[in-house]
Each structure stands twice: as C-alpha cells, then as structure tokens.
Amino acid sequence: MKTIKVSLHYSLNSITTPVVSNLIRKFNVEVNILHANISLNKIGTLIADITGEEKDIQDALAYIEKQDGIRYKVFNNKLIWQEEDCVHCGACTAVCPSNALTMNKDTWCLEFSKEKCLVCGLCTKACPLNVMSLQA
C-alpha cells in the first residue's frame, strides 16, 4: 500500500463526470479529499490523497488521464520546516489554505500537520525567515 497526493484540475463543464466515485469503485483505492473548489460552469480544483496498491493507483491515474477536460498532477514534493530557525511569528498561517500550519493558542508555537499539507508552497514565500522549503 502506498499514498500519493494529487491535484485534479477540471475545465469548464467537466465536473459532471463522477471521477472520485469511479476511482473508488473501479480501482479499489481510498480517496481522501483534502481540498475541493468545484462549482457548476466553473473550472475547479480538487486535491486528494489516494491510497492503494501500486498497480491500482497506476490504473486509477490512467483512468483520470482518459477523462476529457480533467488533468492531474502528482505532488512529488514535501514541505520541509526548519523548526530550529523558526521564530514562530505566524506569518505563514496567513496563506496556508488547508490549516496545516496553525498557531498553538497556549504556547504560541507554530504547529505543522503533514497530513493536512497540500504542498502548495505558498508558505515558502510568505515565511519572512525563509525556513519553509519544498523538497523533491
């Protein structure tokens, strides 16, 4: 079993395909939606963790590729937080879209949840001390 993080980009009018449902039913993978911004007649984005056997995941990705108007991207990066150089100011929490970066309201230390991280990289630019970076 392994888990990959993917983003799906929907062009206009492509959201009528029940992609997530098909992934689960046809390819025996688990799909955990982390972020979704999808509306009728609009382009949309969905970010999810897909967990399953290597072959099932590859088949699932091949299935997505065949869909008209839907592209996918696998996140190969991970976010590296150099905690020892962090001053815990909180500036990165301004841009984190998934609440992976939050301030602990007792200690006022920054807390990072790897599971919630979308690896979008916004925090790497918002951090004034340059302690956030993406690594392949």
Q: Catalog residues that contact another protein under the rule CB under 8 A.
A: 87-91, 93-95, 103, 105, 107-109, 122, 125-126, 128-130
Q: DSSP secondary-structure letter at 17?
A: S
CB of 69 to another protein, least distance (A): 26
**28 vs 93, beta carbon nearer another protein:** 93
CB of 86 to another protein, least distance (A): 9
Question: 7-25: buried (b, 16+ CB within 10 Å) or exposed (e) per residue?
Answer: bbebeeebbeeebeeebbe
Q: 31 vs 51, 90, 111, CA distance in Å?
A: 7, 31, 25
In 11-93, which residue ranges form alpha helices assigned H by DSSP?
19-27, 54-66
CB of 134 to another protein, least distance (A): 15
CB of 8 to another protein, least distance (A): 23
| Segment (H or E) for 125 | helix 122-126
**1 vs 89, beta carbon nearer another protein:** 89
Structure token digits, residue 111: 């807390």
**67 vs 124, beta carbon nearer another protein:** 124
**20 vs 86, beta carbon nearer another protein:** 86
